[in-house]
Structure 1
C-alpha cells in the first residue's frame, strides 16, 4: 500500500531509504514511510521529481550525496539506508564536488582561425556537446567516441578552455606526436614556439634542463617554462616520470587512453600519478573497454582518484571471475554503464550521429621520420619544387597524373616515389603497431613490395592475424583469403597491393582503410576505398587515412591527386586536415541497436540491424567549414557502386584506365623508366582466373581485374542503380571488346 504520512512528534521517526541507479542521470529513492519534513525537502530539492509509476523519487546523480547528507541531519528523523554499492557511492560523492565550468565554453567562440571562423563553428554539433560535457565535469572526462568522430578536436577545444592553466601535457602514441603538433596549431591557435615535442634524447634533455632551471629558481610563476604545451609518447613517460611530476602540470591529456588499461604496465604506473594530480584530466579513446569491464578500472582511477577504487573491490562487483582470474568476465554491467556515463564518459557511435557525418572521412596523417633519413632526400627538394609546377600544368589530363610528362621527368618522379617508399617503412610500421592496439579490423594499401613487406613484418611482430594479397597472389587464393578476413574475428589486417587488390574484393568486415602510399591514379584510390564502402558495410561512415611525410614526393602527389578529384573540400576532423566525401543523398537504416554495455564493450564491430539502403534527403554535415561538398565523379552516397558502374562513369573511371597501353604490369623494386605505367610498378595487376573471358564465367565473390576490358567488369555485389547505356556508349564498349 501507499506509505502513510507520519507527523514528526515525540521520539525520532525511523525511515528506511532504498537507493538505486534509475538511469545515467538519476538515482531512484524509495522511503518506507512518508514524513512531511522529508517530503518538503524532496519537493524543493533542485532537479528532483516523483515517479508515480515506481513510487520513487528521482534525484540527479551528482546531487544525491548532498541530499543524502541533508536527510541524515533532518531533526526528528532517524534514517537507515539500503544504499548504493560502495564504489558507486564513492564515485558519486567524489564527483559531486566538481565545479561546473560551462561558462568557459565562451573561449571556444572567441578562438578564430585565419578565415574568420570560430572553433565552435568548425565543430560538428555532437563535438560541441562533448566539449560541454567535459566542462560540466570540471575538465575530468573520458571522450570515448568511435574512431573517426573527431576526438582530437574536442580535446583541443577543452585544452583551449583551460588555457589559463597551461602549461599542459599531452601523452600520445609515438606515431601521433606530429599529428598533435599540427592539430594544436589548427584548432587551438597554438604557436610553434608554444609546443615542445619530445622526439628523441635531445628533446628530452631540453625538458630536463628547463625543469632543473625552474627547480633552482623556485616558484614556477616567476620562471616560465620555454613551452606552453609538452607532447610526449608513452615510451617517454616512464623515462621522464620524475621530471614530469616535478613540473606539476595542471592539464594532462591522454590520447588513445586504452594504452593504460593494464594496471601492471610501466606506462600505466607512470601515467596515473600525472593524471590524478592534475586539476584537469582529459582521456581520449575510441575503445574504452576492449574486452572486459576491468579495462575501465585504470581510467576510472585516473579521473576520480578521490573515490579510491581498489582492484579487488572492482573485480568483486563488476567481474564474473573464473578459476583462472578474478578479473575475467562481467556482471552488473548496467550499473557500471550508468555510473560512468553519468560521471565521466561521453561516447557516441557513428550510428548515433550519422546525419552529421559524410559517408567517407579522409584524413591526412603526417608521419615523423628520422632526420638522418630525411637528409638523404635533401638533394631532391629543388627537383620537387620544379616538378610540382609541371604536374599542376598537366593536372587536367584525363589519364593518369604522369601522362603528358617528358621521359626524364617521369624517371625523376618515379625515383623519388621509390625512395620515399623505403624512407617510410619504419614510420608506417610504428603507426600500424599503434593502430593494432585499437583491436579493429582495417585494410592497409601500398604499391612497393618493400613497403608491403614492412607492413607484413609489423603485423607479424604484433602477433595479429592477417591476410596479404598482391600481384604475386594466385587468383585461386584470393577468394579464400577474402573469406578469412570477412569471417574470422582474429584476422585483423588485410595487407593489400593497390593494383592487385584495389578491385574484385568485398572486405566490408572493416570500416577503416589506410593508404601507406598514394597512387598516381585517383581512380585506384577510389576503387581501393570501395572495398569497404559498398553494400554490406554496417558502419555507414568509412574512415580513410593517408600516411604522408612532409618534404617528400608525398607533397606533390597529395596536391596533384586533389586536382584530379573534382570539387574537393576540406574538413578538419580532429586529427589533421582531411577530405570528406559529402554525398548528394543519404542512406537510411532501420533503427534499434545494442544494449547499454555494447556502448563501451567493443568486442565486435557494431552490427546494428542491417536495414535497407534507400536514397533519402541530403545529410546534415554540421556547420560551414566542417565539411564541404566533394564529388569524386564516380558515385553518389551510400555504398559504392559496382565496378561495372565505375567502368561506365566519368573520366576517372577504370574503364578509361583499362583501355590503352599504360596498364601493363611492372616489376616492384627498383622502378624502371617509362611512361605512366611505371607508377603501377609495385604489385602488378591482379591475376585473372584461367578461362575468365565473360562476366557470366566469374567465380562467386570475385570481381575481375581493372586491367581487363571494362565490359568484363562485374561486381560481386548487386549495383544500387544500373545506369542505362546510350547507343554511343554501347558501341564504344563493343569496340573495346
Structure 2
C-alpha cells in the first residue's frame, strides 16, 4: 500500500485504508479483480473519464461579469470586490479569506453570475441558517437564483449538468473527522462540480495549520493530495504514547512561511486598511478591581473549583486534557459574573456619552443579568434565526443603543457598524472568534474609530488573553504580511500547569 500514490491513511482494523479519489484508477488496476467495487465509485470514475467540456476562457468570463454596472438595488461593487470577482473567475477552486466586512458574499456572487451567464450551471450556496436571508438579499441584488443549504443538511449528490458551489463560513470545516467536513469534501470531489469557492475571514482560527488542511482539500490544492505528508511537513506530525495508547499528533506548527508561499496562488487575503482605509480599530485593556468582600468571595469560589481539580488529580481521576479545559471554563464563568458591576458601569458611561454599544460574552447567563439591569437587545444561539435578525435590526435602526450578544451568535455574519464601542466581557479561546466579534462593528459605514474594551480579571483572563496573543502571532505568520517567530505551546498543558500553580 505504501507504493500507491497519492498515499492512503490506515484508519484502523474496522475502517481499513482510505485513499484519495485520485488513487482510484491505480487501486482498480491492482486490486479490482480481488475485491468488490461499489457501483457509486464506478459511476464517479466514469464521470472522471468523460468530463464536462472546459469552461470558457477567463477573458470571456470577465466580459460577461458586468462588474462596473450598478446592481439592481443601485449599489456599485467596490474596486476590491470587482478585483476579487476577477480573481475567483480565474480559479476553479479558491479560498477568499478577506477580513470581515469586505463584502465576500457580493464578490462571490458577481463571479458566479458571470459563470452562469455562459454555462448552464446551478449555483449552490452552503451557509449557516442564520445567514440565509443575507444571501437571498445579495442574490436578488445581482439578479441570481441560488440553492441554499445549511451546514447541517448538505446534499448527497449534484446534478449531472454541473454546479458552482460557494461555501460561506468555510472554517466550519476545520476538522477532518467532523461529519459536516466529510459531507462537504464529498461534494467538493464530485466529478460534476465545476467550481468551488470557499469564503471565510478566519481560515486558521486557532493558529494550527491542520485547520487549513480541509479547506485546501476542498479546493483540491496539490498540498492536500497527501494528508500524511502535509501533517509531517506543516503540523509537526508525530506518534506519541500516552496511557499505553499510540496516537498520531498533528497539533503543532512548522514551516509556516513555506506554507504561506505555496498556498498564496489559491488564497486571497486582504485587509480593510489595504482596500478601504477604514478608521482604525483600537483595543483598550481594562483591569477590574474588586472590593475586598467581592475579592474574598471570588477567591473562595475559585479555590473550590481548583481544589476539586487537584483532588481529582491526586486520586488519579483526571484522565484527559478536556477536564483541565472544563475547569478553566468554570473559572472564566465565575470571573465573568464578578466583572458584571464593572461592565455595567462602563456601558452606562459610554451610553451617557451618546455611544451605541455591543457587549460580547461566551456565556448567556451574564448577558441575561446585564439585560435585566441595563435593558437592550439580546442576541444568543438560543433564539430562532428570525429573533436574532430582529434584535440586530432593532439595534441598527436605533431602537436600542445596547446589544448583548454571545460570540457564537453575534459574531456570525451580522453587520453592527452602528456601534463604535465594543465590550468583551471575556475572550473566547481563538483569535478568529475575537476578530469575528470586533469586526461585526468595524465595517463600511461606521463613523469614527472602533474601540474594543477588554475587561480583565484574574488568572483565567490572563491565561486566555496570552493564549489569544500567541495564536494570533502564528496566524499572522501564515496569513499576514509580517515575519514573526512563534513558540509551540500546548493549551491543555498550559492550563493544567496554571491550575496546579495557582
State the TM-score, normalized to the length of structure 1.
0.35
State the TM-score, normalized to the length of structure 2.
0.49
| Greater share of residues in helix | 2
Larger Rg: 1
